A and B are shown apart, each in its own frame.
Chain A
Amino acid sequence: MSRGWRLAGIAALIAVLVIALTPYVWLFMTSIKSRLDALADAPVWLFTPTLEHYPKVFLDKAYLPLVFNSLVVAGTVTVLSLVVGVPGAYVFARHRFAGKEDLFFFFLTTRMAPPISVVVPMFLLFGYVGLVDSRTSVILAHSTFNLSLVVWMMRGFFEDIPREIDEAAQMDGHTKAGMFVRVLLPMAAPGIAATAVLCFILSWNEFLYALILVAFESRTLTVGIPGLVTPHGTLWGQVAAVAIVATLPIIIFTFLVQRHLVRGLTFGAVKG
């Protein structure tokens, strides 16, 4: 391909990168700007940075526990979904039984369920069994979509492992359960790790379930952000600081799992 085309391509790519990243860079800059700079009439690109918003919102306004809540919720959801979902995925990958694909489709529909439709009946039902307001309620709600993600994603990873491995393991005298734990799980470890990170991200980012189901002291970060819209005016510096803390770990995770993102986000339908 000609040099000119190549240069044009690179220019286009740079333009795309600028468009994709500028808003985030701007958010970050807002988080370290003084209120005066943030609300200036013309955009301020050069300024004396200040770190005042971070301690103000996380310590004075006590948003630090929200980070902890988000961690606990996303962490528990991830572990729960994996523990419950990975064995299920194995069955889908290796066993034959009537109605298997229909069941698999049911898993898909749970992943796709619109939260706005589910959250009201879920709130009411959780209310009857006394689960509302605890972290448990959000954890359970989030496991609905993450569990099916695990099953869909891990089925593919298990199918990637040749069946001969199973046969060899059984020749060695492993029971099926033993083989699953000692042979297949270690082989699927990279897939499990990628799935775990995706589960974590999806739960960490979730808003609507958490908004309705959670109590004041177990609010997650995403739910806490709108609380910074105060009668003294939206505190953009603090909003940006919280948003940065809520997103930075996710960006790091994205770099960690980028290889497996395609599979995760298409429910295993496309292998990246």
Chain B
Amino acid sequence: MTSEHCVTITRLARASAAATIFVGLMAASGPAGAWSLEEAAAPYKGTTIRTIGEALPPLEAMDKLKHKFEERTGITVVIEMYEHSEAVNKVMLDLNSKRGRYDFILQPHRELGRFVANGHLAPIERFMDDPKLRNPDFKPEDVLYQGLWKEISWYEGKPYGYPFTALTMYLWYRNDLLQDPKEQAGFKAKYGYDMQAPATWEQYRDLAEWFTRPDEGFYGTAIQGKRHEALWYEWLNFLYSFGGDMMEVSSGSECGPIIVNSPAAVASLDYYKSLTAYSPSDTLNYFWDDVMVAMQQGKVFELIMWNDATYAVEDPSQSTVSGKMGFDLVPQGEGGKVGQVEGWTYLIPAYATNPEAAFLFIQWMMEFDQQLEQHMNGGASARPDVYAAPEVGKITYSKASMDTNAVAIAKPTIPESPEITEILVLELSNALAGKKSSQEALDDAAVAMNKLLGDCAPLKFPVE
């Protein structure tokens, strides 16, 4: 498959990072009489703004940072943290009842389409164009990765917010075991080539097989097989890498031919399913936090995981394998080097009671200092200058994260996209559970997607 229908995100212009690094630092020191946060926030002093998001390290980091904003502005920030699906559900309920409980929200970008289409969001331009609110030193068009920003927070050519996290998934493996001479010798004897970090899916499976030792409670890999969004996210790595995709479109807000049951897609699912043999017995009940624990506990050799979770596996206070890990792009198949874009974005609901104060907070969070702090505590900033900071360079997984971002493929964000996810989660789960063959499962998914989307999404690979 060619890549013309894939939006390749930002060629991460690392050179330009250095140029923009100072913008954030300069923010506080403008000439007298210029814009200041305190002045801008004065009319909203004493108000409370409320937000909601997934209980993840970046949000916990924001929770620890917010007091600085509160002290400077007199605006109180209340953060509600929920489990992933709950965070999405609560927002759906709130937006549709138009109560305006939340002054700004943090949501995964696949939700964008249905929010925009139903008129739930206030475009961020409304605040960006207001000189009283806009910090003239914050120039998103300069300081953010443009591709990421457009992918995560724009819909049909209009910005609705700024990226809260720029997420992607990549390979995690136990480097210490890879360097073990005994393992190396045994592996070579069995497979006839040198053991190394997996660059192809064949190598990935060989390694998974080699390290699977159920009697020692150790497994080659662990897949996130639970019927949950996590399953879909994980499989996308395989799908993209095998050269497949869900739809043939050039941007997330478009509808196009369905290719989710292409031969490449079926092959990727067959392969993905084969990994259950090298995974813990409960792998069909695992989602991200279970595989995380398995890795932290040193029970697994390799897996595909999220960049914003990497922090927790390298944290010696909760992980037995910190310092022993290696990180890299997911192995390559027909699709070449790929990754996926996922992001949580700041958005302001159309019904918010204090949208201006919310904007001031978001803008403040996007400043370099806060971004750096958040990034160091498990965030994934969308500012190149953060990645250029020396302390970020020292993080073991920074390179894998940036390399993956550079080749990441966009997902659908049309109003129907959450339901597409739901369809695929069910069918993938059916395939993994052995209820359907990969072909059957993906054919059924394709038909269901076609029924959902209608004429704009014909089946490229017809199902009889």
Task: State whether the Cβ of A269 lies closer than 8 Å to any Cβ in chain B.
Answer: no
User: Which A residues, 91 to 112, have Cβ-Cβ distances below 8 Å to chain B?
Assistant: none
Contact B93 A212 (CB under 8 A): yes
Residue of A127, A215, A229, A230 with highest tally of chain B CB at under 10 A = A230
Contact B55 A227 (CB under 8 A): yes
Distance in angstroms between the alpha carbons of A227 and B59 in the assembled complex? 14
Q: A127-B97, A132-B99, A212-B93 are known contacts. Are A231 and B293 too (CB-CB below 8 A)?
A: no
Q: Which residues of B contact A258 (CB under 8 A)?
A: none
Contact A232 B289 (CB under 8 A): yes
A111: shortest Cβ distance to chain B, in Å?
26
Give the residue of A124, A227, A231 whose beta carbon is less than 8 angstroms from that of B82: A227
- Which partner residue on chain A sits nearest B308 by CB separation? A231
A239: shortest Cβ distance to chain B, in Å?
12
Contact A231 B297 (CB under 8 A): no
Contact B99 A233 (CB under 8 A): no
Q: Which residues of A contact B309 (CB under 8 A)?
A: 231
Contact A229 B83 (CB under 8 A): yes
Residue of A39, A130, A231, A234 with highest tally of chain B CB at under 10 A = A231
Task: State whether the Cβ of A216 lies closer than 8 Å to any Cβ in chain B.
Answer: yes
Q: Which residues of A contact B288 (CB under 8 A)?
A: 231
Give the residue of B86, B90, B101, B292 whose beta carbon is less than 8 angstroms from that of A231: B292
Distance in angstroms between the alpha carbons of A122 and B55 in the assembled complex? 28
Give the residue of B82, B83, B93, B297 whose beta carbon is less than 8 angstroms from that of A123: B93
Chain A residues packing against B (C-beta within 8 Å): 39, 41, 123-124, 127, 130, 132-133, 212, 215-216, 226-227, 229-234
Distance in angstroms between the alpha carbons of A127 and B288 in the assembled complex? 34
Q: Which residues of A contact B90 (CB under 8 A)?
A: 216
Interface string of B431-444 (1 = CB under 8 A from A): 00000000000000
Contact A233 B289 (CB under 8 A): yes
- Which partner residue on chain B sits nearest A215 by CB separation? B101
Distance in angstroms between the alpha carbons of A212 and B86 in the assembled complex? 10
Distance in angstroms between the alpha carbons of A251 and B342 in the assembled complex? 46
Q: A123-B93, A127-B97, A132-B99 are known contacts. Are A230 and B289 too (CB-CB below 8 A)?
A: yes
Distance in angstroms between the alpha carbons of A130 and B297 in the assembled complex? 47
Task: State whether the Cβ of B369 lies closer than 8 Å to any Cβ in chain A.
Answer: no
Q: Which residues of B contact A39 (CB under 8 A)?
A: 293, 297
Contact A231 B312 (CB under 8 A): yes
Task: State whether the Cβ of B56 lies closer than 8 Å to any Cβ in chain A.
Answer: yes
Q: Which bucket holds chain B's interface residue count? A: 20 to 34
Give the residue of A41, A133, A212, A232 whose beta carbon is less than 8 angstroms from that of B292: A232
Contact B83 A127 (CB under 8 A): no
Give the residue of B52, B97, B289 whose beta carbon is less than 8 angstroms from that of A234: B289
Distance in angstroms between the alpha carbons of A233 and B305 in the assembled complex? 13
**Can you sample 26 A-B contacts with CB below 8 Å?**
A41-B217, A123-B93, A123-B97, A124-B97, A130-B99, A132-B97, A212-B93, A216-B52, A216-B82, A226-B83, A227-B55, A227-B81, A227-B83, A229-B83, A229-B289, A230-B55, A231-B54, A231-B56, A231-B288, A231-B289, A231-B292, A231-B312, A232-B289, A232-B292, A233-B292, A234-B293
Chain B residues packing against A (C-beta within 8 Å): 52, 54-57, 80-83, 86, 90, 93, 97, 99, 101, 217, 288-290, 292-293, 296-297, 309, 312, 318
Q: A233-B289, A234-B293 are in contact. List 10 more A-B contacts (CB 8 A).
A: A39-B293, A127-B99, A227-B83, A230-B289, A231-B55, A231-B309, A232-B289, A232-B318, A233-B290, A234-B289
Distance in angstroms between the alpha carbons of A187 and B297 in the assembled complex? 61
B198: shortest Cβ distance to chain A, in Å?
25
Distance in angstroms between the alpha carbons of A41 and B312 in the assembled complex? 22
Q: A123-B93, A229-B83, A233-B292 are known contacts. Are A133 and B101 too (CB-CB below 8 A)?
A: yes
- Which partner residue on chain A sits nearest B320 by CB separation? A36
Q: Which residues of A contact B318 (CB under 8 A)?
A: 232
- Which partner residue on chain B sits nearest A126 by CB separation? B97
Distance in angstroms between the alpha carbons of A4 and B217 in the assembled complex? 45
Distance in angstroms between the alpha carbons of A130 and B81 in the assembled complex? 23
Q: Which residues of A contact B52 (CB under 8 A)?
A: 216
- Which partner residue on chain A sits nearest B217 by CB separation? A41
Give the residue of A215, A216, A234 whose beta carbon is less than 8 angstroms from that of B290: A234
Distance in angstroms between the alpha carbons of A226 and B289 in the assembled complex? 13
A79: shortest Cβ distance to chain B, in Å?
28
Q: Which residues of B contact A41 (CB under 8 A)?
A: 217
Q: Which residues of B contact A227 (CB under 8 A)?
A: 55, 81-83, 86
Distance in angstroms between the alpha carbons of A97 and B93 in the assembled complex? 44
Distance in angstroms between the alpha carbons of A124 and B96 in the assembled complex? 9
Q: Which residues of A contact B312 (CB under 8 A)?
A: 231-232
B281: shortest Cβ distance to chain A, in Å?
13
Give the residue of B99, B293, B297 whose beta carbon is less than 8 angstroms from that of A133: B99
B222: shortest Cβ distance to chain A, in Å?
12
Contact B56 A233 (CB under 8 A): no
- Which partner residue on chain A sits nearest B319 by CB separation? A232
Give the residue of A123, A132, A226 whose beta carbon is less than 8 angstroms from that of B86: A226
Distance in angstroms between the alpha carbons of A233 and B55 in the assembled complex? 12
- Which partner residue on chain B sits nearest A124 by CB separation? B97
B400: shortest Cβ distance to chain A, in Å?
18
Contact A233 B296 (CB under 8 A): yes
A212: shortest Cβ distance to chain B, in Å?
7
B307: shortest Cβ distance to chain A, in Å?
12
